[in-house]
Amino acid sequence: MDGTDVWPRTSPGGKPATFIGRDGGKVWKRQSKGLPKRDAYFTVKRQAMTCDQRNPVGIYFGTTGGEVWGSINEGDSWKCLVRYLPEIYSVTLLEKG
């Protein structure tokens, strides 16, 4: 990568999903249960995705449309946690100790 490549974090065709690979990137599994099935043209900025230290891992991301989505099962299913925020540039997770 020389800095001129574009690595989009958009929802192609308006159908957002995350992808998981457990074999060094040979096979990727699409995960979209709970995410919008159509007409969801948002972007996730580079710093707007994070995860927790639990088992299974929780994953969270914010969108340019002002939504925060979360999964408590490594992306197997998703839930919208909050809507109607301004564009989200960054998501940080603070866990109770």
Domain ranges, residue 36: 1-97
d(CA 47, CA 71): 17
Q: What is the pLDDT of residue 5?
A: 58
Q: Average pLDDT by consecutive 10-residue portion of the chain (97 residues)?
A: 58 88 89 95 91 92 96 96 97 84
Q: Structural domain tally of the chain?
A: 1
Q: What are phi and psi of 13, to 5 degrees?
A: 70, 15
Q: Which one, of 60, 50, 95, lies nearest residue 81 by Cα?
A: 60
How many C-beta atoms lie closer than 10 Å to residue 57's C-beta?
13
CA distance 43 to 11: 7
Q: Which residues partner with 68 through β-bridges?
A: 62, 82
